[in-house]
Chain A
């Protein structure tokens, strides 16, 4: 990944939600135009560091390639967020910490000054987030950036895939401080809606979080977990799933089991990638998808 990847936008669909969302893919062309308060961030997800197996013969190289790809972007993002499953699960607490440490070390090569982390069930469900917190701090938090309120929701530290009443109360209290037209971005790992509970693609009390968010006009949710791009609306709230960085998963219900899609030697890294999200005060959010490797 020696040369730079240009920031290239191709508008495919526009006008979803209060602020509006457009989708894009990495195609030749346009440079980002930025007003003073406009910004963009990168969503990376499901790197599953520690995984080994035929679905990815380059398991030890893919995350590094993704880091290099982000670093080669012409314009660096204001920040990067990892939406969970940083590591692949292990029953061994020492191995879990080793994987988290190695992951953190690789992620430290990102040029962007601010990188935020969230847990997935592979990182946190077997110890209620204990090891994750040792490396990355709280599993749920908020921050504000250029007028946008970000809320990171933890729906994985409880192995039952619940947010829990305590965190929901925290969420309600935080939202109470926001105006109903405030731009709000929710970051989480599992889908907050029942995408496909037959494959555990759901959050048990996700509907409670969505109900808390519904009174707010400008809410967008970014999540991971399902290792593929997916877009869904609950009322006026758009939910966008990101591709993974280790192996792609099949579309919901498209095969008997949720086993990873096989590696395609003719198209290595197919189905893997990361996305940029442009926040534009007037036009809303613009999503662009990037591959891990330019060879795809």
Chain B
């Protein structure tokens, strides 16, 4: 086998590998739903929005930002929580695996209205 012939064969094999990898990647991409980004802003003593609806199985990234004091975001039914630091974006990833309406709440005591600071996450099919 000549040098040129060998080079062609190697290049051909490499091309097949690249195409195969690309195909696998594309299949994987289409099998995993794209993350949905939801922005939630806090100020004493509210979440905005306070009601969020998402789809079961679709990954969600909550982008949490605070306007005044340190707050918490706690979604006990999904076992996730985060601190919300004023002026910073906190990202909280979640893949809702059950349907229903679930409470999220501030779990850092933040003042006189702290106990009313909550919201609802509704997960639908």
Chain A contacts to B: CB under 8 angstroms: 89-91, 121, 125-126, 156, 159-161, 194, 197-200, 204, 257-259
In the assembled complex, the Cα of A161 lies from the Cα of B76 at a distance in Å of 15
**Known contacts A257-B116, A258-B115; A126/B76 CB under 8 A:** no
Is A159 in contact with B108, judged by CB distance below 8 angstroms? yes
Q: B23-47, CB under 8 A of A: which get 1 and which 0?
A: 0000000000000000000000000
In the assembled complex, the Cα of A151 lies from the Cα of B72 at a distance in Å of 29
The residue among A90, A197, A258 with the most chain B CB atoms within 10 A of its own CB is A197
Q: How far is the CB of A5 from chain B (nearest CB, A)?
A: 32
In the assembled complex, the Cα of A179 lies from the Cα of B104 at a distance in Å of 42
Report chain B residues within 8 Å CB of A156. Answer: 109
Report chain B residues within 8 Å CB of A161. Answer: 107, 109
**Known contacts A257-B118, A258-B115; A200/B110 CB under 8 A:** no
- Count chain B residues whose beta carbon lies closer than 8 angstroms to a beta carbon of A: 18
Q: B74-93, CB under 8 A of A: which get 1 and which 0?
A: 10110000000000000000
Report chain A residues within 8 Å CB of B70. Answer: 159
Instruction: Closest A residue to B120 by CB, please name it.
Output: A256
Report chain A residues within 8 Å CB of B118. Answer: 257
Is B105 in contact with A159, judged by CB distance below 8 angstroms? no
**Known contacts A197-B76, A198-B77, A200-B105; A89/B112 CB under 8 A:** yes
One of B76, B77, B105, B109 near A121 (C-beta < 8 A): B109
Is B112 in contact with A200, judged by CB distance below 8 angstroms? no
Report chain B residues within 8 Å CB of A90. Answer: 112
In the assembled complex, the Cα of A121 lies from the Cα of B103 at a distance in Å of 21
The residue among B76, B105, B107, B115 with the most chain A CB atoms within 10 A of its own CB is B115
Report chain A residues within 8 Å CB of B115. Answer: 200, 258
Is A198 in contact with B107, judged by CB distance below 8 angstroms? no
Question: Would you mind naming 27 contact pairs between A and B with Cβ atoms under 8 Å apart?
Answer: A89-B112, A89-B114, A90-B112, A91-B111, A125-B109, A126-B111, A159-B70, A159-B108, A159-B109, A159-B110, A160-B107, A161-B109, A194-B76, A197-B74, A197-B76, A198-B76, A198-B77, A198-B102, A198-B103, A198-B105, A199-B105, A200-B105, A200-B107, A200-B115, A204-B107, A257-B116, A258-B115
Q: How far is the CB of B81 from chain A (nearest CB, A)?
A: 9
Instruction: Closest A residue to B111 by CB, please name it.
Output: A91
In the assembled complex, the Cα of A258 lies from the Cα of B103 at a distance in Å of 12
Q: How far is the CB of A134 from chain B (nearest CB, A)?
A: 19
Q: How far is the CB of B84 from chain A (nearest CB, A)?
A: 12
In the assembled complex, the Cα of A257 lies from the Cα of B105 at a distance in Å of 11
In the assembled complex, the Cα of A89 lies from the Cα of B115 at a distance in Å of 11
Report chain A residues within 8 Å CB of B74. Answer: 197
- Of residues 44 to 88 in B, which have CB atoms within 8 Å of A's CB atoms? 70, 72, 74, 76-77
In the assembled complex, the Cα of A199 lies from the Cα of B102 at a distance in Å of 12
In the assembled complex, the Cα of A91 lies from the Cα of B70 at a distance in Å of 14
Is B77 in contact with A126, judged by CB distance below 8 angstroms? no
Report chain A residues within 8 Å CB of B114. Answer: 89
